Amino acid sequence: MQKYQEVITKINFWLLVLLAFSIPFHRLFSTYVFLLWGLSSLFILQYKQRFSRKKDRTFLWFFLFFFVLHIIGSFYSENSHAASIDITLKLPFIIMPLFMFLSGEYVRENNRKVLLSFVAGNFVASLVCLVAATVRSISVVNGSWTFNSELMDHNYSFWQKLANGGNNFMYEPLSIFQHPGYFSIFIVSSVIFLLDMLLRKEIGKTTFRKVLYIVLIVFFSIMVYLLFARTGLIALLFVFLAYLIYYVLSTKRSFLKLSFILAIAVGGVMVLGFNGRMRNSLDELKAFFSESHQQEDTENRLVIWYNALDIVKSNLFFGVGTGDNKDQLLKMYKERGLKKAEAANRNIHNQFLETTIQLGLIGLFSLLSLLLLAFIKGIRARNPLLICFVVINVLFFMFESCLNRQAGVFYFALVLSLLLFIRPAEKKPVISAP
């Protein structure tokens, strides 16, 4: 019986590792692995041992509260079909935290392998995307092989391509598995994990592994830029600055390192200013404050958010219901003349607003509470990994309705559960002065 339990435990763990690896890929991959992992988890969960401990149960209740609100919201939703789909989509919000909370010692002792599997998944997905972009750029013209990555015949120079995109190696043409915004945040999370392991010297003493991690961080940074997602770029800059500041405070050798922080900040701002999509964001911001909020034929997110506030005001406390948020948005687009947004069937691209429209202030409270409690835990434990993860996902939530897609739900529920429930006791960084 003991041998049987050990085998099931290891199978369950490696399914969890595979689940973390699968997230950047097509949703069917992670769906099947999730089902197998959940099934195997039923045979190894430690109910009595874990529920007898009060530590971390608060987080579990907030995950449960958020999920239950979606079930309650389905009872006053007019679109029952959309409500049932949304509830199914949110199932990982209760299954993943619960199973992580109830997991045994083997999972907690090897949790770094799960995080590294997520990193490996993003690396492999990035390579596949780059190879696919290369293949699409190669063609045979008049019997000769030619390489042309441009998609709109702008005849851009190399630097113009980097600034404006419009080729196979940037933005949506590059990201073949996920929306670029989602993929960029997955990659930024991978950078956090690698930086944290370097900082805490949890990768061993071999020079090869240190160099490998640094090369991966550089590769991922380039990939985030190529994905051309504004949220990813801002999040990456924040992560580098946060870990540099933490490093300075830990080593107490400030002058040279503070100069390096300043150089990174200036360089990061210059890169953001060079990026064409960031410049477009500034133009949208100027347009929002200089023109009418009722302007027609626009996809300006600020305009959409401003108009969507009227839906919030009309359904302040409990929202429109679990399945009616998209219907209410489309109705608003039509009434306000937002023709491009209506034609594109746009969601609101803001998870906080999406949740408030759907479940009202009580839904927003549940989501914000979960993020805030995780942030406070990170501060108290001096855990930059958890702090950075929460901050970049607040940014993610600000510009994407990320919990409307399976990839977003799996990523957020899985990684946050890992960091909250099965991360070992925090260690202070063991940085030695060079």
pLDDT in tens, the chain (434 residues): 677 778 888 899 999 999 999 999 999 999 999 999 999 888 877 666 665 566 678 898 999 999 999 999 999 999 999 999 999 999 999 999 988 888 777 777 788 899 999 999 999 999 999 999 999 999 888 888 898 888 877 778 777 787 778 889 989 999 999 999 999 999 999 999 999 988 877 665 678 888 899 899 999 999 999 998 889 999 998 998 888 888 777 766 566 666 666 676 777 777 777 676 777 777 766 766 665 545 555 667 888 898 899 999 999 999 999 989 999 999 998 888 888 888 888 889 999 999 999 999 999 999 999 999 999 999 998 889 999 999 999 999 999 999 999 999 999 999 999 999 875 544 444 444 33
- Each residue of 75-99: b (16+ CB within 10 Å) or e? eebebeebbeebbebbebbbbbbbb
**CA dist., res. 127 & res. 121, Å (int):** 10
pLDDT of the residue at 144: 85
DSSP state at residue 342: H
Cβ-contact 195, 217 below 8 angstroms: yes
pLDDT of residue 336: 84
**CB half-sphere exposure, 240, CA atoms < 13 A:** 22
Residue 26 DSSP class: -
CB 44 within 8 A of CB 12: yes
Residue 153 is predicted with a pLDDT of 76
Q: State the helix-helix crossing angle for 406-421 and 27-41, rounded to 10 degrees.
A: 40
The dihedral over CA atoms of 241, 246, 250, 252, expressed in degrees to the nearest 10, equals 40
H helix and E strand count, the chain: 20, 2
Token pair 């049932």 in the structure block, residue: 84
The pTM of the whole model exceeds 0.85? yes
> What pLDDT, on a 0 to 100 scale, did the predictor assign at position 300?
77
What pLDDT is stored for residue 428 in this prediction? 47
> How far out from the chain centre does Cα 98 lie?
20
Q: At what angle do helices 254-274 and 230-251 cross, to 10 degrees?
A: 180
Spatial separation of the C-alpha atoms in residues 161 and 276, rounded to whole Å: 10
The pLDDT score that the predictor gives to residue 4 is 75
